[in-house]
């Protein structure tokens, strides 16, 4: 049995923060055509960003690294 606590709406607030970060960074990458590597984060947080940017036509995302150093990279799509 797994019990999940969401004190003070932490998960929802974290999701909103990550979606804002994803959108701002994706706009920057789309404009500059320079990839941006975000700080290492857990799989749950990376998944939120991957999902948020999945339908964007100008950028793509991928995870790089191993273990606790696994980070997400937002890259311009090849046109």
Dump pLDDT digits (tens) for 35-55: 999 999 999 999 999 999 999
Residues making up the chain, counted from first to last = 79
Q: What is the chain's pLDDT, residue by residue, as a tens digit (79 residues)?
A: 888 777 888 889 999 999 999 999 999 999 999 999 999 999 999 999 999 999 999 999 999 999 999 999 999 997 6
CA atoms of 12 and 56, how far apart (whole Å): 22
Element (H, E) at 36: strand 36-37
pTM value? Answer: 0.87
Q: How far apart are CA 53 and CA 59, in angstroms?
A: 7
Determine the CATH number of domain 9-76: 3.30.1370.50
Q: What pLDDT score does 78 carry? A: 79
């Amino acid at each position: 049995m797994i019990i999940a606590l969401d004190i003070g709406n932490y998960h929802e607030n974290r999701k909103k923060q990550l979606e804002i970060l994803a959108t701002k960074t994706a706009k920057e990458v789309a404009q500059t055509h320079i990839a941006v590597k975000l700080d290492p984060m857990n799989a749950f947080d990376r998944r939120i960003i991957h999902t948020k940017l999945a339908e964007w036509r100008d950028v793509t995302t991928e995870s790089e690294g191993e273990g606790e150093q696994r980070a997400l990279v937002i890259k311009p799509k090849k046109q």
